[in-house]
Amino acid sequence: MMKFIAGISVLQDRYDAFITDIWGVLHNGSTAYDGVIDCLGKLRDSGKKVLLLSNSGRRAKMVSSDLCGFGVMPELYSHLITSGELTHHAFSGTRDSRLQNLGTCYYLFGSERYGLTRGLGITKTDELSAAEFILTIGVEGNPSTTGIYEDRLRYFAQNGLTMVCANPDVTVNRNGVLG
């Protein structure tokens, strides 16, 4: 049975480390939630390790920069792991043979600005017929407009292209607005 607690302070003395999500836990997309910075500071001051874990398709440095904008500075946490960072590592020094030599990349959602393929010799294309694999990095736009992607997805499926998904979000709540 789930037990509801008043806050992290109830658990602070029971654990040496804490793993927490970022979006929706530390911030709402535009500002840190009340008490987050104080809580992280108290955990740090009591010698606790704090791992921030995110399924963001962006690299850890980009997410860390956003967190700084919310007042969540790097000294308030021990480590930051994002699915985008793990995707970059998987492409760069992969132990997974399925991610080696994938060829030319088509970005279905997201863009090169996230840096997932930067410096890895992966060529990007905007032409469906030139794509050898698909990379999805995150949610873009209004969820009611996803139908515009159906033809592309059908083409990729019919041609057996590999799809790498760095962020499986269907929608994102940005300051109370779904998008």
4 against 142, higher pLDDT: 4
The answer to whether residues 107 and 140 belong to one domain is yes
Q: What pLDDT does 122 receive?
A: 85
Residue 43 pLDDT > 60: yes
* Residue that finishes a domain, picked among 34, 51, 84: 84
Query: Average pLDDT in the 119-140 region?
Result: 85
In-domain check, residue 10: no
- Strands, E, within the chain: which ranges? 17-20, 49-54, 79-82, 105-109, 133-136, 162-165, 173-174, 177-178
CATH number of the domain at 69, please: 3.40.50.1000
The answer to whether residues 64 and 26 belong to one domain is yes
The pLDDT mean for the chain works out to 86
In-domain check, residue 8: no
Identify the band that residue 174 occupies on the pLDDT scale cut at 50, 70 and 90. Answer: low
The answer to whether residues 111 and 147 belong to one domain is yes
The whole-model pTM stands at 0.81
- 46-75 pLDDT tens trace: 999 999 999 888 899 999 999 999 999 999
The answer to whether residues 79 and 117 belong to one domain is no
| 117 Cβ contact partners less than 8 Å away, ≥ 6 residues apart | 88, 91, 105, 124, 135
- 70-109 pLDDT tens trace: 999 999 999 999 999 998 888 887 666 777 778 898 988 7
In-domain check, residue 64: yes
Domain count, the chain: 2
The answer to whether residues 57 and 80 belong to one domain is yes
In-domain check, residue 92: no
Distance CA 167, CA 11 (A): 30
Which range of residues forms the domain containing residue 103? 98-174
The answer to whether residues 75 and 118 belong to one domain is no
Q: How many residues does the chain have?
A: 179
Judge whether 27 and 36 are in contact, CB under 8 Å.
Answer: yes
